[in-house]
Every structure is written in structure tokens, then in C-alpha cells.
């Protein structure tokens, strides 16, 4: 039978001796006051007994005294075991330092960390992911809920319930962000957070997590702008449905679902988003490493890859029931409705700006019939509703940093039922141009037919097999109409006093409208060629 030396022969020492006996030890005591058959000396004799006894523990109820003697024993070379009563349960993933004592029917749950000389008394429950510093005493029947940190030498009295405590997280400067981090389960583990990205609609943060001794960007946390997305639950229902569908499809095709689609994280309560105390919705998704996002077309190959990416996105979701998606922004790409909004803004002219844009007003009015081209085909049943992204700019694609290939479609807030021509057209409007969207010098603004052809080629390579003949014929119209629609929206906002789009100058929205109308004019002059290019790659 293995020998164990116990320092402290009082009432607690006797309890520890019984636990040790249950574990198969032959016990002897050292104590400065208590006498008895098994008390073989005073506590100071521990040094002289080293060798005769290889293992020793300290059994003092006083936390400071118990911890001090455990340290003395370790310095003297003793092995100081952890004693766990057979009726107690300690998780295999828990870490207990030297000299811990876990008494009858206590529980130490998953991934707990206990420092030296901790005492877990009878019936106490230390739930998962708790950290107890050196010399802590958890009293009889106490419950320590998950994710707590108990300071050194602290005694938690019998029957107490300790609720989760929050640690300070670098980069967190408001309670709403802190609440969101804890809601998604990152609060007790993340290293730090900081603002992320160049978006102007949602408030976005990078969440860094510890990994193999380093700190890595792992998650993206966003507060959704409810001024733009007034029904966040419907937005998240759409996103969760589509991304979970994509994940299954990517796995079936042998791809990597952790890189080829965003994976949204549910809260600890299983919800798709967290609503803070002010009613703001927060959502979270994985960060995809070794990826890059471009704000503008720097090389023609990037535009080609974007076409393949958005075409593939449409193809992957071709079996998804588009009618089950919420229309989160009503009439988003209903060009006829956009024309009516413009007409109302013109009639009201609340800022007396109509006189400054008479040419642009006439431009829109002359193309009223064009606004109905796609919607008429939709209502007639000639064009099917599909799952569309509805914001198919280049900067909504992640590219593989190593290969340069399109990797993953992001910014999924506007996923809704829509027309393939709308997504196609929005990409052309944004990418097949020679100038920025708000360029003041219109001599620099041109529709690039070569970039258009490159995009058609890439788009039809990935989406061509699921598009109907009518949809293919509608693509060139999509470029014209979505560009016109965007210009209408800019001019409408200008007439209303710049209430929707962010502006940096008084004429900003007017400048934006003018660039779109310049592109429309050039598309009209190249329209037969645009249609012929589509037929070429069909």
C-alpha cells in the first residue's frame, strides 16, 4: 500500500484521510497541536521525512495556509497528488494542479482549470470552462456556473451560486459589442476585436481568437443597419437558408465549404442573430483566410473571375426554391417602381433642384418604356424568378490570394427572389466601365465592350447550362436597364435632398446619375453588338 503524508490532522485532515484511504493510501499525519496514533510529528518535520514518504498533501481549511504548505512540499521534492473521492466526477478535459482535493459527489466539469491547493467541497458543482486560481475553496453545495474566474485564495461560501463573470476584452468600448461577443460564445476566449472592412452600411468587427499560441482573425461580427434592413429576421432567414444549402451543395461537389461559402454562426441560444438591449441585431460568420477583396477592376482577369463566381453562385442555387425567400427590400430591382419614385420626387422637388438637372430628367422620361422591358417578361412568365444576389459588384467576391481565382460570394444581405439579368446587369454597370461611379469628368466615362465580352464569356461558362433561352436574350437588356435604374435612383435621391446614399458633396448624387446615363447611352449604341456577343458564347 502506498504511503501518504498528510499535513494537518484536524477535522478537515480526517476527512482527507478517509478520501485517501478510499483511494488506497496508507496515511500518516503531521500536526503541531493534534495528537494521536497516526500523528508522527510536527509539520516542520516534513523535510526530515522526505524519502520515507514520497507523497504528501496539505489538509488545512484555511486557504492561505493550505496553499503555503503545498508550495513548501513541492519545494522539498514531494509529489503532491490530487485527491478525488470515488463518488465525485472530474472531467477528463479538466486540469487540476498539485494538491487539489475534490470531495464526495462534487463535479468538476469540462475544460475547467484548477490552480494549486484548490478545495472542492462535498456536492459542489464547478461547471464547464471555469478557472479557479491557487488556493480557492468552493463550499458545500455551491454552484459555479460556466465561464467564471475565481481569484486566488477566495472562499465561496456553502450554497452560493456564482454567475458567469466577464473579462475585459481589448478593443471593446461599448456594452452592446460586449454583449454580442458573449451571445455568440466568444467573450471568455477571444483575444481582441477591432473594426474591419470598408463597408458603409453595417458596423463590422474582426474577432481574433487564440490558436496554437498565436492570435488569428477567426470571425467577423456585424451590427446590422436597421435603417436599411428593416426586417433583420427575414434577412437572416434568407442568408441562413441559402448558405446552409450552399454548404451541402459544395460538399456534394467535393469542394471546401469552409472557404467557398460564408458560414454563419448561431448564438448560444441557437438563434441566427443576437438582439442587444437597444434592439440592434448582430450576426457573425467565419473569416476566410488567404483571401482578398478588390474595390475596382485592376486586371481584366479579375472581372472574368468575378463573372465565373457570380455565374457559379446562380448555378449552385438553381434548385433552391426562390419563392420561399423573403423580399427584404420591396421592389428593389423593380425599375418601373423606381421610375414612379422618381416621378414623385420630381413632382415634389423639395430642394428646388430640378432646374439643375433638366437634361437628366428628360433622359429618364424618354426611357420610360425601357423600364418595363424585364418586368413585363417576368409577369408574362417568360423569365423565371431565381435566387439572386442583387448587389453583384466586384467587391462582393473574395478571391483566393494564392491563385487569383474567385472563391466566395459575400455581402448576402440583399439575397432575394429576382432575375438573372438583374445580377448580370449590375456587374456590367459596375465593372465594364472606364471610370469611377462618381467621376465628374464625363469624357473619362465609357462603356468597355471588351470587358463586357470577357464577363459574358465567364458568366455563361458557369451559369449557361441552367439559363433559359429567354434569360440569355435578356442579359444585354439587364445591363442597360440596371444601369438606367441605378441612375434613376441617384437622381431621385438628389431631388429628395440626398437622404439615402452617402454623399461627400452637394452634387455627388447628380454626378453619379450622369455617369450611369453616359454608360446607358453607349450601351444603346452598342446594343446589337452586346446581344451578338451573348449569342456567340451561348
- Full-model pTM: 0.73
Residue 238 CA from chain centroid, whole number: 16
> Helix 232-252 crosses helix 300-316 at what angle (to 10 degrees)?
90
Cell 482577369 belongs to residue = 301
Query: Helix, strand or coil for residue 86?
Result: coil
DSSP string covering 111-143, please?
Answer: T-EE-TT-EE-TT-EE-TT-EE-TT-EE-TT-E
* Residue corresponding to grid cell 482578398: 292
pLDDT of residue 225: 86
Beta bridge partners of 227: none
Task: Using alpha carbons, select from 421, 532, 420 the residue that is nearest to residue 477.
Answer: 421
If one counts every other C-beta atom within 10 angstroms of the C-beta of residue 319, the result is 10
Give the C-alpha distances (Å, rounded to integers) separating 29 from 7, 40, 57, 323, 459.
6, 6, 10, 78, 82
pLDDT band of residue 320 (cuts 50, 70, 90) is very high
User: Other C-beta atoms within 10 Å of 174: how many?
Assistant: 9
What pLDDT sits at residue 365? Answer: 98
User: Residue 446 and residue 435: Cα distance in Å, rounded?
Assistant: 7
pLDDT band per the 50, 70, 90 thresholds, residue 230: confident
For 334-410, list the strands marked E by DSSP: 386-388, 397-400, 406-409
Segment 196-205 shows an average pLDDT of 79
Say if CB 517 and CB 363 are below 8 A apart. Answer: yes
- Position 199 confidence tier, pLDDT thresholds 50, 70, 90: low
Query: Percentage of the chain surpassing pLDDT 90?
Result: 87
User: According to DSSP H, which parts of 275-326 are helical?
Assistant: 300-316
DSSP states of 87-112 as a string? TSEE-TT-EE-TT-EE-TT-EE-TT-
Q: What is the pLDDT of residue 197?
A: 77
Q: How far apart are CA 470 and CA 538, in angstroms?
A: 12
Query: pLDDT tens, 267-295?
Result: 988 999 999 989 999 999 999 999 999 88
Residue 214, pLDDT score: 87
Whether 397 and 409 have beta carbons less than 8 Å apart is answered as yes
Amino acid at each position: 500500500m502506498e504511503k501518504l503524508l498528510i499535513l494537518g490532522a484536524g477535522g478537515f485532515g480526517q476527512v482527507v484521510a478517509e478520501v485517501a484511504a478510499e483511494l488506497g493510501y496508507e496515511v500518516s499525519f503531521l500536526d503541531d497541536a493534534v495528537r494521536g496514533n497516526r500523528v508522527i510529528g510536527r509539520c516542520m518535520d516534513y523535510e526530515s521525512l522526505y524519502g520515507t514518504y514520497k507523497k504528501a498533501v496539505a489538509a488545512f481549511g484555511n486557504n492561505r495556509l493550505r496553499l503555503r504548505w503545498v508550495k513548501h512540499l513541492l519545494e522539498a521534492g514531494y509529489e503532491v497528488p490530487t485527491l478525488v473521492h470515488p463518488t465525485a466526477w472530474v472531467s477528463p478535459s479538466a486540469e487540476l494542479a498539485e494538491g487539489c482535493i475534490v470531495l464526495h459527489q462534487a463535479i468538476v466539469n469540462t475544460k475547467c482549470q484548477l490552480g494549486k491547493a484548490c478545495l472542492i467541497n462535498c456536492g459542489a458543482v464547478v461547471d464547464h470552462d471555469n478557472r479557479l486560481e491557487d488556493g480557492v475553496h468552493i463550499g458545500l453545495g455551491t454552484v459555479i456556473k460556466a465561464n467564471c474566474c475565481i481569484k486566488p485564495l477566495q472562499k465561496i461560501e456553502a450554497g452560493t451560486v456564482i454567475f458567469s463573470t466577464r473579462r475585459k476584452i481589448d478593443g471593446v468600448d461599448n456594452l452592446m459589442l460586449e454583449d454580442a461577443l458573449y451571445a455568440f460564445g466568444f467573450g471568455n476566449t477571444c483575444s481582441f476585436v477591432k473594426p474591419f472592412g470598408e463597408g458603409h452600411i453595417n458596423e463590422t468587427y474582426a474577432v481574433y481568437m487564440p490558436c496554437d499560441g498565436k492570435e488569428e482573425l477567426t470571425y467577423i461580427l456585424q451590427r446590422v443597419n436597421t435603417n436599411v434592413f428593416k426586417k433583420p429576421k427575414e434577412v437572416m432567414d434568407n442568408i441562413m437558408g441559402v448558405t446552409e444549402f450552399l454548404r451541402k451543395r459544395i460538399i456534394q461537389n467535393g469542394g471546401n465549404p469552409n472557404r467557398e461559402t460564408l458560414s454563419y454562426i448561431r448564438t448560444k441560444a441557437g438563434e441566427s442573430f443576437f438582439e442587444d438591449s437597444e434592439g440592434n441585431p448582430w450576426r457573425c460568420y467565419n473569416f476566410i483566410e488567404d483571401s482578398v477583396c478588390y474595390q475596382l477592376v485592376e486586371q481584366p482577369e479579375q472581372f472574368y473571375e468575378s463573372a465565373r463566381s457570380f455565374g457559379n453562385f446562380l448555378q449552385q442555387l438553381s434548385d433552391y426554391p426562390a419563392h420561399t425567400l423573403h423580399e427584404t427590400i420591396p421592389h428593389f430591382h423593380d425599375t418601373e417602381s423606381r421610375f414612379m419614385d422618381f416621378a414623385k420626387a420630381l413632382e415634389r422637388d423639395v430642394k428646388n433642384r430640378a432646374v439643375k438637372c433638366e437634361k437628366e430628367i428628360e433622359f429618364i422620361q424618354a426611357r420610360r418604356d425601357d423600364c418595363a422591358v424585364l418586368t413585363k417578361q417576368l409577369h408574362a412568365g417568360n423569365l423565371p424568378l431565381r435566387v439572386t444576389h442583387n448587389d453583384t459588384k466586384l467587391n462582393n467576391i473574395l478571391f483566393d490570394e494564392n491563385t487569383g481565382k474567385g472563391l466566395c460570394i459575400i455581402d448576402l444581405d440583399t439575397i432575394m427572389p429576382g432575375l438573372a439579368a438583374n445580377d448580370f446587369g449590375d456587374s456590367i454597370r459596375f465593372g465594364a466601365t472606364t471610370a469611377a461611379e462618381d467621376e465628374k469628368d464625363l469624357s473619362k466615362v465609357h462603356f468597355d465592350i471588351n470587358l463586357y465580352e470577357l464577363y459574358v464569356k465567364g458568366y455563361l461558362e458557369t451559369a449557361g447550362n441552367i439559363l433559359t433561352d429567354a434569360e440569355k436574350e435578356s442579359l444585354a437588356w439587364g445591363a442597360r436597364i440596371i444601369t438606367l435604374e441605378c441612375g434613376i435612383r441617384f437622381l431621385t435621391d438628389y431631388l429628395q435632398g440626398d437622404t439615402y446614399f452617402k454623399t461627400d458633396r452637394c452634387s455627388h448624387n447628380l454626378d453619379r446619375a450622369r455617369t450611369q446615363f453616359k454608360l446607358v447611352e453607349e450601351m444603346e449604341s452598342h446594343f446589337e453588338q452586346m446581344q451578338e456577343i451573348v449569342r456567340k458564347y451561348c
